Amino acid sequence: MKLRPILLSALCAAALAMPVNAEDLMIGVGGTATSIDPHFYNASPNNSIAMQIFDRLTERDASGQLLPGLAERWEAVGELQWRFLLRPDIKWHDGEAFTADDVVFTFDRARDVPNSPGGFGGFLRAVASVEAADDATVLITTKAPAPNLPGDLANIAIVSRHAGEGADTSDYNSGKAAIGTGAFRFKEFRQGDQITLERNPDWWGHDVAWDTVTYRVISSAGGRTTAMLAGDVDIIDTPAAADLERLRSTAGISVDSTPGLRVIYLVGSPLTGAQMQFIRGPNGEDLSENPLADVRVRKALSIALNRQAIVDRIMEGTATASGQWLPEGAFSYSPDIAVPEQDAEAAKALLAEAGYPDGFRLTVHVPNDRYPNAPAVVQAVAQMWTRIGVQTTVESLPWITYSAKMSEFAIKLLGLGNATFDASSMLINVLGTADKERGLGASNDSGYSNPKLDEMTAAALSIYDDAQREQALIAAVKLALEDGAILPLYQQTNTWAMREGLTYAPRIDERTLAKDIMVK
């Protein structure tokens, strides 16, 4: 099964006052890339930049179809080995030759980058060893059958051994080690402000329209719209829902959208460490136990929410309410999992059954510059929880600060782009018991652990038969949701606004890739 992007265009005949410059491109983005190191943090803003500088063995197109990347082709060699045949004559940005040894170096490095807030080890969890059979052939031996490996590797940026050996994240951020094979070369990185890239004339891929590209961080959705209307940028991502009609009706601007893979969800921590500063008794007293460790409390918080009202009133139709973390049509989406219905009385009864008849106090955290309308969404959530006796306050933080402190929060709003295009990204990276050796829990900052779920996930991902693997993944999804491991809210719709004269195929993974922005 595949998601099919829906193209919604509102093309206008008249041009804006400032014409598109065919050599330089200015992109206004809402998300802040925290690093140029492509293995530091598995977050969409970081990945959008990394995909310009670095390539992968396999790639995905706008609809999620798996494509050849640095590997021209690949094949399974028995149940426990894959052979990847590399493109010939690929050069790094500094002119050095790309070889299979760079892949060996990359896979070792990507497993565990120091101080990473959420890395890429989960995509390599099945890999037992990597061997350069010759300069153009990579042999990957897996610990168990790994039918998803080619797709997983579409998430691992390939870096060079000669530039990366001995380098740390700061060396990538400075540009010293940011030597890739990608469509663009690194020029400048100013965290929280802008990133500038220059065209790589020797890239092996398709023709690229731009000599210089600047990603300008504009965290306010309204600010991005203003910049678009003023002609200060050529394309923006995630415009505010309230601005879409204005953008569509403005001469010289087009708006394109597609249903996205990203789920917005709430996740609570069952731990009793730093999290307890954000959980108190109904009168503000300390608690010896964490209410969020009780599945009845988690279920109560879930059924207290009116997801459809959030989508209708706050997201204004730019999202789809959901009770799971994949959109309809995706591999391992389950039609049997309905959107939970709001039931405040049942929620109160569950709280009482769990030992909290008078509720408790809770602080929920949200990033204020990462996901569209997220602070307003969490304010609505807080009101719904307060109505069932969980007196809820909201604290919002900039993404750079938020992402560094997430493990301390009691409950928080996050989004996951489901980079594996099936249920396994959430099951492995977010809900898997944190274990670097097993490649689990790379983004598990809540402390959630369910050994049975880990076993079900591992078993599902070793099944080569697609239909059987899908049913096994769905069973794991149902277990996770029954346990209240996360509280899914909705799937985002991905939207871009751009100047007339540009085209960009809207991507279900929401990434804004300058190399694929074309001039008509």
Same domain, 376 and 431: yes
Partners of 394 in beta bridges = 364
26 falls in which pLDDT band (50, 70, 90)? very high
22 falls in which pLDDT band (50, 70, 90)? very low
Same domain, 188 and 286: no
Q: Which of 217, 250, 280 is the last residue before a domain boundary?
A: 217
Q: Looking at the domain assignment, is residue 228 inside a domain? A: no
Residue 107 reports pLDDT greater than 50 = yes
- Give CA angle at 283 (287, 413), nearest 5°: 65
CATH number at residue 445: 3.10.105.10
79 falls in which pLDDT band (50, 70, 90)? very high
Instruction: Give per-residue pLDDT as tens, 213-224.
Output: 999 999 999 999
Same domain, 410 and 295: yes
Q: Looking at the domain assignment, is residue 18 inside a domain? A: no
Report how far residue 406's alpha carbon sits from residue 171's, in angstroms, rounded to the nearest whole number: 25
CATH number at residue 201: 3.40.190.10
What tokens appear for 255 in the block? Answer: 């708006």
Q: What is the pTM of this model?
A: 0.85
Coil vs helix vs strand at 103? helix
Mean pLDDT of 180-199: 97
Backbone angles phi and psi of 300, in degrees to 5: -60, -45
Q: What is the per-residue pLDDT for 159? A: 98
Backbone angles phi and psi of 118, in degrees to 5: 175, 95
Q: What is the per-residue pLDDT for 17? A: 32
Backbone angles phi and psi of 325, in degrees to 5: -110, 10
Same domain, 187 and 278: no
Q: Which of 183, 217, 251 is the last residue before a domain boundary?
A: 217
- Share of the chain residues as helix, strand and coil, in percent rounded to the nearest 5: 30, 25, 45
Q: What is the per-residue pLDDT for 15? A: 34
DSSP string covering 42-71: --HHHHHHHHHH--BSEEE-TT--EEESSE
At position 43, the amino acid (one-letter code) is A
Instruction: Give per-residue pLDDT as tens, 243-271.
Output: 999 999 999 999 999 999 999 999 999 99
Pairing of strands 24-29, 212-217: parallel
437 falls in which pLDDT band (50, 70, 90)? confident
9 falls in which pLDDT band (50, 70, 90)? very low
Q: What is the per-residue pLDDT for 118? A: 87
Q: Determine the structural domain holding residue 97 and report its residue range.
A: 31-217
Cβ atoms of 6 and 259 within 8 Å: the answer is: yes
Report how far residue 77's alpha carbon sits from residue 106's, in angstroms, rounded to the nearest whole number: 22
Q: What is the per-residue pLDDT for 436? A: 87
1 falls in which pLDDT band (50, 70, 90)? very low
Partners of 30 in beta bridges = none
Q: What is the per-residue pLDDT for 65? A: 93
Mean pLDDT of 411-428: 95
Report how far residue 327's alpha carbon sits from residue 336's, in angstroms, rounded to the nearest whole number: 13
Same domain, 200 and 306: no
14 falls in which pLDDT band (50, 70, 90)? very low
Same domain, 90 and 173: yes
Q: Looking at the domain assignment, is residue 291 inside a domain? A: yes
Residue found under tokens 């051994």? 161
Higher pLDDT, 87 or 5: 87
Q: Looking at the domain assignment, is residue 290 inside a domain? A: yes
187 falls in which pLDDT band (50, 70, 90)? very high
Same domain, 41 and 111: yes
Q: What is the per-residue pLDDT for 23? A: 83
Q: Looking at the domain assignment, is residue 100 inside a domain? A: yes
Q: Looking at the domain assignment, is residue 233 inside a domain? A: no
Instruction: Give per-residue pLDDT as tens, 112-129.
Output: 899 998 899 999 999 999
SS3 sequence, 166-209?
CCCHHHHHHCCCCCCCCCEEEEEEECCCEEEEEECCCCCCCCCC
Q: How many domains does the chain have?
A: 2
Residue 8 reports pLDDT greater than 60 = no
Work out the mean pLDDT of the chain and round it to a whole number: 94
Cβ atoms of 77 and 84 within 8 Å: the answer is: no
At position 198, the amino acid (one-letter code) is E
Mean pLDDT of 302-327: 96
Q: What is the per-residue pLDDT for 114? A: 93
Q: What is the per-residue pLDDT for 18? A: 38
Same domain, 213 and 266: no
Q: Is residue 33 packed enough to be buried (19+ CB in 10 Å), middle (13-18) or exposed (0-12)?
A: buried
Residue 336 reports pLDDT greater than 90 = yes
212 closest CA partner among 195, 232, 231: 195
Same domain, 372 and 455: yes
Residue 3 reports pLDDT greater than 60 = no
Residue 466 reports pLDDT greater than 70 = yes
Q: Looking at the domain assignment, is residue 299 inside a domain? A: yes
Same domain, 339 and 442: yes
What tokens appear for 161 in the block? Answer: 């051994």
Mean pLDDT of 265-285: 97
Same domain, 207 and 311: no
Same domain, 181 and 294: no
Q: Looking at the domain assignment, is residue 4 inside a domain? A: no
